[in-house]
Structure 1
Amino acid sequence: MLELNQVHKTYATPQGPLKVLEDVSLRLAAGQSLGLMGESGSGKSTLLHLAAGLDLPDHGVITLKGQNVASLPEPTRARLRREQLGLVFQQFHLVPSLTVIDNLRLQARLANRDDADWAGYLIKRLGLTGMEKRYPEQLSGGQQQRLAIGRALAPRPPLLLADEPTGNLDETTAGEVLELLLSLVRETHCALLIVTHSLQVAAPLDRCLRLRHGRLLDAAP
């Protein structure tokens, strides 16, 4: 599903080159869940952005379903994100002017995979029944994050990338949102790559790796 092979990434800073990722290789199979742990600044979010084609590596190859992401022009990468990826971030990135149901169906419509029955099922599973006509500002933080997860899964993508999806939530709400996320991932049979600093988030995943100073360790201790 997703493969990174000897990926390097460096950014220019006023203090000189900043090496963020160095010789990173990993594979994620269809239907598999993988946690990526590490301290702040270890390169976790950078790796996720590279996997999504939001940024490009300096060296190395990133393939998504057999396609070399870096070799594609930006319009093709954008289409690949719409059709093959679901993205969930710590910030909810909901559209304030759209209702709950329209936010939920937005990504599916962009991918030409809108399914009213599936959207209705997701609303129920997300605990948002009766809130379809509300706007994001009328929801709690946990409800907004559940909606963001539903939006990402509405097109039934083969791969879901999540960057600290429970980082803005209290412990109880975070546990509930994580349980829902993993349940829906299993139902849709998509692969999951989740960036987190939380052992609670990483524990139920199939595998967990750790980034340290831009290098990938075999396992998270």
Structure 2
Amino acid sequence: MLEFRQVAKAYATPQGPLEVLADVDLALSAGESLALMGESGSGKSTLLHLAAGLDLPDRGEVRLAGRAISSLAEPARARLRRETLGLVFQQFHLVASLNVLDNLRLQARLAGRERPDWTAELIARLGLAGLEKRYPEQLSGGQQQRLAIGRALAPRPALLLADEPTGNLDEDTADEVLDLLLALVRDTGCALLMVTHSPRVAAPLDRRLHLTHGRLATPTAGQDACA
């Protein structure tokens, strides 16, 4: 579903190029869940942006659903994202002018894959029944994040990319949202790549990798404890 082959990425700084990723190899199979851990500034979000085709590597290759992202022009990358990916971020990125139901429908409509029965099931499972006509500002933080997750999964994507999806929530709410996210991912059969600094959040996923100085490794017990 997702593959990185010797991927490197650097950014220009006044002091010279700053290497963020160095010869990263990564493979994520269909239906598999993977937690990407690491300290702040370790390159986790950069890796996620490369996976989504929002940025391109300096060298190496990123393949999404069997297609080399670097070989595609931006319109084709946007189409591939729309057809293949769901995206969930720490910031909810809901459309303030749309109500709950229309926010939920948005991604599925753009992908041309809206299913009323699945929309109704999502509303119920997200705990948003009766709130369909409310606007994002009228929801709690937990409700907004559940809505953002539902919007990403409404088209039933092949791969969900999640960047610190519970980072803005208190611990109890975060646990509830994480349980819901993992249940929906499991039921839809999509793969999941989640960026998190929290070992507790990473623990239920199939695999965990740690990003340090631009390189990936299986985390040690000490890294799990302090990431």
Counterpart of 1:52 in structure 2 is 52
- What letter corresponds to residue 17 of structure 2 in structure 1? P
Cα gap change, 1:31/1:199 in structure 2, threshold over 3 Å: closer, same or farther? same
SS in 2 for 1:210: strand
Matches within 5 A, 1:7-86: 7-86=7-86
Give the number of equivalent residue pairs: 221
- What letter corresponds to residue 151 of structure 2 in structure 1? R
Counterpart of 1:215 in structure 2 is 215
RMSD: 0.7
Could you tell me the percent identity over the aligned residues? 76
2:93 is equivalent to residue 90 of structure 1: no
- Alpha-carbon distance in 2 for matches of 1:103, 1:14: 41
- What letter corresponds to residue 94 of structure 2 in structure 1? L
Counterpart of 2:224 in structure 1 is none
SS in 1 for 2:193: strand
2:172 is equivalent to residue 166 of structure 1: no
Counterpart of 1:122 in structure 2 is 122
The Cα of 1:220 is off from its aligned counterpart by 4.9
The Cα of 1:201 is off from its aligned counterpart by 0.8
- What letter corresponds to residue 219 of structure 2 in structure 1? A
Counterpart of 1:190 in structure 2 is 190
- Alpha-carbon distance in 2 for matches of 1:74, 1:24: 23
- Alpha-carbon distance in 2 for matches of 1:96, 1:136: 6
The Cα of 1:152 is off from its aligned counterpart by 0.2
CA deviation profile, 1:146-194 (whole Å, cap 9, x unmatched)? 0000000000000000000000000000000000000000000000000
The Cα of 1:50 is off from its aligned counterpart by 0.1
Cα gap change, 1:2/1:220 in structure 2, threshold over 3 Å: closer, same or farther? farther
- Alpha-carbon distance in 2 for matches of 1:142, 1:213: 33
Counterpart of 2:113 in structure 1 is 113
SS in 2 for 1:91: coil
2:156 is equivalent to residue 156 of structure 1: yes
The Cα of 1:13 is off from its aligned counterpart by 1.1
Cα gap change, 1:127/1:220 in structure 2, threshold over 3 Å: closer, same or farther? farther
- What letter corresponds to residue 214 of structure 2 in structure 1? G
- Alpha-carbon distance in 1 for matches of 2:182, 2:77: 26
Q: Are the aligned partners of 1:9 and 1:19 in contact in 2 as well (CA < 8 Å)? A: yes
TM-score, normalised by the number of residues in structure 2: 0.96
TM-score, normalised by the number of residues in structure 1: 0.99
- What letter corresponds to residue 165 of structure 2 in structure 1? P
Any gaps of 5 or more consecutive residues in structure 1? Answer: none
Q: Are the aligned partners of 1:209 and 1:220 in contact in 2 as well (CA < 8 Å)? A: no
Counterpart of 2:179 in structure 1 is 179
Q: Are the aligned partners of 1:208 and 1:220 in contact in 2 as well (CA < 8 Å)? A: no
Counterpart of 1:142 in structure 2 is 142
- Alpha-carbon distance in 1 for matches of 2:71, 2:41: 27
The Cα of 1:219 is off from its aligned counterpart by 3.4
- What letter corresponds to residue 200 of structure 1 in structure 2? R
